[in-house]
Amino acid sequence: MTQPHHDSDLLFKALADSSRRKLLDLLHAYDGRTLNELCEHLDMSRQGVTQHLDLLVAANLVATVRRGREKLHFLNPVPLQEIYGRWISKFEKPRLKALDQLKQKLEDNHG
Amino acid sequence: MARSTFVYVTYIRTTPEKLWSALTEPEFMKEYWFGMHGESQWTAGSPWKLVASDGKVAGDGEIVESDPPKRLVFRWQDRTKPEMEAEGPSLCTMELVPEPTVVKLSITHTIECESSKLIVAVGGGWPKVLANLKTFLETGTAAIARPAPR
């Protein structure tokens, strides 16, 4: 696959599917699994699981490591951290600051 | 033997040389590693330590392999908590692979110990450090160290 690993469209697309989210949850519970181990938990063909994994790898949500003949899959949470920085903490901080100021103002008035 | 492994990958719009500097120069490291920095000659066999902002040693070990700006492997013995210290040294491998417009940075952290507390602890930290490192190299400022936007 090509390498648009830093494309956030790919990242959100990869997350917009319940089977792929299940694969991420499976890897979160126990990391470093082979394709066969992952297939056991999903009610779909081996080829279907491979396609989902390819999309997760393209989005950089899954990293693979070769160990001998085996290919192990690891959850890579770095892009999720980037989403958090871009979409959550950025919007959360001003509100937390506003709440903090409100608290200080109200408490000052009473004190 | 049972082992615990975490793998982290990020793609950064930079050069391998700049990324290597960011990974090995204390002044750069403090910018994105929450005030912590590494101290070493960064050559195979030389000692390594991770120093917190208060000067305490959070971890130490030695450099196992060093091939700038491509590959750095070091042993990491935790010095923050007795239960993590008891697990013995972990091995941290950093690999830098240039691609047309970005550098792929892979960090593999392994310890010969099942359900390692250290790996879980660093597992919470690496994504933040790497997301911060990426923002720092791409924009010149670390995301989490940045003051709140208005």
**pLDDT tens per residue, range B105-127:** 999 999 988 888 888 887 778 88
* DSSP line for B63-121: EEEEETTTEEEEEEEE-S-HHHHTT--EEEEEEEEE-SS-EEEEEEEEESSTT-HHHHH
What pLDDT was estimated at residue B92? 96
What pLDDT was estimated at residue B22? 94
Distance (Å, whole) CA B57 – CA B79:
7
Q: B7–A90: do the CB atoms touch at under 8 Å? A: no
Q: B134–A82: do the CB atoms touch at under 8 Å? A: yes
What pLDDT was estimated at residue B31? 87
What pLDDT was estimated at residue B15? 94
Count of CB atoms situated within 10 Å of the CB of A102 = 10
A1-27 pLDDT, tens digit each: 444 556 789 999 999 999 999 999 999
| Pick from B72, B69, B93, B100: nearest CA to B8 | B93
Q: A85–B144: do the CB atoms touch at under 8 Å? A: yes
Is the Cβ–Cβ distance between B32 and B122 less than 8 Å? no
State how beta strands B4-12 and B37-40 pair. unpaired
What pLDDT was estimated at residue B143? 59
What pLDDT was estimated at residue A2? 42
Chain B contact for A85 (CB, 8 A cutoff): yes
Q: Write out residues in chain B with pLDDT < 50, as ranges.
A: 146-150
Contacts of A81 in chain B (CB under 8 A): 127-128, 130-131
Is the Cβ–Cβ distance between A74 and B6 less than 8 Å? yes
Q: Which of B1, B4, B8, B139 would you mutate first to test chain A, the one with the most A CBs within 10 A?
A: B8
- In the chain, the amino acid numbered B87 is E
Q: What are phi and psi of B99, to 5 degrees?
A: -120, 170
Q: A74–B5: do the CB atoms touch at under 8 Å? A: yes
What pLDDT was estimated at residue A7? 76
Model confidence, pTM = 0.81
Task: Name the one residue in this structure whose structure tokens are 């899954």.
Answer: A62
Task: Name the one residue in this structure whose structure tokens are 């056991």.
Answer: A40
- Whether the link from the prior residue into B16 is cis, omega within 30° of 0, is no
What pLDDT was estimated at residue A103? 79
Contacts of A65 in chain B (CB under 8 A): 5, 7, 108
Distance (Å, whole) CA B60 – CA B34:
18
Q: Which of B3, B6, B119 would you mutate first to test chain A, the one with the most A CBs within 10 A?
A: B6
> Is A70 strand, coil or helix?
strand
What pLDDT was estimated at residue B45? 97
Closest-approach residue (CA) in chain B for A85:
B143
Q: Is the ipTM of this complex over 0.85?
A: no
A51-108 pLDDT, tens digit each: 999 999 999 999 999 989 999 999 999 998 888 877 777 777 777 777 777 878 888 7
Show the tokens assigned to B66.
């060093």
The partner residue sitting opposite A78, judged by closest CB among B102, B127, B148, is B127
